[in-house]
Every structure is written in C-alpha cells, then in structure tokens.
C-alpha cells in the first residue's frame, strides 16, 4: 500500500484538478450537453492516464537534477522510496492505458494518442534547452480540452483550439510563477526558464502578459460565464499580487489555491450558463 501512496504523491494526482475542468468544459460544449456515460468514463480514464504517464516520465528525466535541488531532493526517486524500474513500468502501463482508452472513444482519438504522448513526453526535456519550456508545459495540458472535443465529437473544432490556447497561456503563466522559487538553483545548474533568462521581476511581467492573453482567449471562446471570466480576472490579479520580485514566499498559495479555484469557477460558470 505504501507504493501506491508513493505513486500518487510522486505524480501529484491531486493536481489533475487543474486541467480536468477545462476538459469537462470542452466536453459539454462539443457534445451540446452531457454525452453518454461510456464516453465520459473513457474520457476521464484517458485524461488521468495521460497525466499520470507524463508526470512519471518527468520524474524519470529529472531524477538527477531533483537529487541536487534542496526543494526536490526529498522526492520519491532520489530518496529511493520508488525504484527506477518501478517508475518505468508505471510509465509504460499508464501510456498503454491511455492508448487503450483512446481506442474506446473513436478512431481519431486513437490515431492522435501517440502524438499526444510524444508532446507530453517532449516537455520533460525542454527545460534543458529552451527558456520557453513553460509554453511547452501549457501545450501539454492544452491536450485536455482539445482531446475532450475529439472524444465526444470525433473532430477538432475551432472552439476547442481557442480553449486549448487559453490553457497554454494560463499554465505557462503560473509555471513561471512556480519557477521563481528555483531561480538560483536553475541559474547555477544551467537549466532554462523565463525566470533565469530575464530575472524574477521581468519574468513576473511575462507571466502577467500570458494571463492577459488567457483572458482574451476565454472571451473569444465565449465562456458564457461572463461572471466566471470576471472572477477569473480577479483571481489572476490576486495571484500576481501574492508573488513579488523581492518576496516569493507565497508562490505556493498563488500556484495551488488560486489556480485550482480558477479552473473550478470556469467549469461551474459554464455548466450554470448551459443549464440554467
């Protein structure tokens, strides 16, 4: 049972909450309501397995650097709580589950599943060669709303791409905030990020710009939830007031609390507008 607990902790299973609401929003809009239970079930399995294999793969790629970073050296691979071969098997099993669940949805989902895996695995390497790795993380999570559209409609729509773009800039923006806490370590070990390239102060401005673009994308998408967009805007402002160039102590509050609330608010607002 400890191994199961360690895997859940290692892949930060609770963080699935961030992208899941965007997938559900796309599912609802693309299907014109709730699809059948079978589709919902396999869509959720596909999303959870994709995120799980991505996180586990990221832990494999970062095992050496995680062991050197004071913030991450207590993670499960560096400490030996999980062994390398165990995580490799987990990556393969969850990837297989993702492909299988995609096959249970439709042909396009199955056809695109290897491409989706390639994108989410590729992200893990980007911090080693580009400062714009945050956008690649956003691209990885944007698969959720686009994939949900494919799952229920068998096609990719403009609306799902716009929502996917919103996710890209939302994720990239908050990932920049999160990277602020590793500024000194990343700079000293040759890792790439907007924070390392421009410094914390200018990086915060880039993060804010990304979140403004996200808000524009949501308006273009037509999140009916006009109130949802307003609340999201307020939370983004709150998020950026928490993290200052000379004080990043509240970055976890900005990252976890604010972003979790943002995704849930948008989902609830969209569902309310759809049914009320």
Give pLDDT tens digits for 164-175.
Answer: 999 999 999 989
Taking residues 258-263, report their average pLDDT: 73
Give me the sign of the Cα torsion angle 205, 211, 217, 222. Answer: negative
* Class for the domain spanning 2-275: mainly alpha
Residue with the bigger pLDDT between 264 and 159: it is 159
Taking residues 89-100, report their average pLDDT: 98
- pLDDT at 68 (0 to 100): 96
Quote the distance between the C-alpha of residue 162 and its chain's center: 16
**Highest-confidence segment of 5-14, 180-189, 225-234:** 180-189
Cα–Cα distance, 114 to 123 (Å, whole number): 15
Cα–Cα distance, 197 to 191 (Å, whole number): 10
Is pLDDT at 253 greater than 70 in this prediction?
no
- pLDDT at 99 (0 to 100): 98
Taking residues 97-116, report their average pLDDT: 98
The single residue listed with the structure tokens 């994709």 is: 50
Check: CB of residue 144 under 8 Å from CB of residue 21.
no
- pLDDT at 161 (0 to 100): 95
- pLDDT at 176 (0 to 100): 94
Pull the structure tokens for residue 134. 């945050």
pTM of the prediction? 0.90
Domain residue limits, the chain: 2-275
Q: What is the pLDDT of residues 116-139, one digit of tens each?
A: 999 999 999 999 999 999 999 999
- pLDDT at 9 (0 to 100): 79
Cα–Cα distance, 55 to 139 (Å, whole number): 14
- pLDDT at 14 (0 to 100): 64
Check: CB of residue 232 under 8 Å from CB of residue 269.
no
């Amino acid at each position: 049972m400890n191994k199961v607990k360690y895997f859940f902790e290692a892949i930060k299973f609770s963080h699935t909450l961030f992208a899941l609401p965007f997938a559900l929003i796309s599912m609802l809009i693309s299907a014109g309501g709730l699809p059948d239970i079978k589709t919902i079930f396999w869509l959720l399995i596909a999303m959870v397995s994709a995120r799980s294999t991505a996180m586990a793969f990221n832990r494999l790629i970062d095992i050496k650097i995680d062991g050197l970073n004071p913030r991450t050296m207590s993670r499960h691979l560096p400490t030996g709580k999980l062994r390398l071969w165990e995580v490799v098997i987990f990556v393969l099993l969850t990837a297989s589950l993702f492909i299988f669940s995609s096959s249970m949805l439709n042909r396009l989902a199955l056809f695109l599943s290897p491409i989706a895996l390639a994108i989410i695995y590729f992200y893990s390497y980007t911090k080693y060669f580009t400062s714009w790795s945050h956008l690649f993380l956003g691209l990885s999570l944007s698969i959720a709303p686009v994939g949900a559209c494919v799952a229920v409609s068998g096609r990719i729509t403009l609306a799902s791409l716009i929502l996917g773009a919103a996710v890209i800039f939302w994720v990239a923006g908050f990932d920049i905030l999160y990277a602020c806490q590793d500024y000194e370590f990343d700079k000293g070990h040759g890792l790439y990020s907007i924070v390392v390239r421009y410094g914390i102060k200018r990086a915060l401005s880039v993060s804010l710009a990304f979140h403004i673009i996200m808000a524009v994308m949501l308006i273009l998408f037509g999140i009916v939830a006009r109130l949802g967009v307003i609340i999201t805007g307020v939370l983004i402002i709150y998020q950026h007031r928490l993290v200052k160039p000379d004080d990043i102590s509240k970055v976890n509050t900005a990252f976890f609390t604010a972003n979790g609330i943002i995704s849930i608010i948008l989902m609830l607002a969209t569902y309310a507008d759809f049914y009320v």
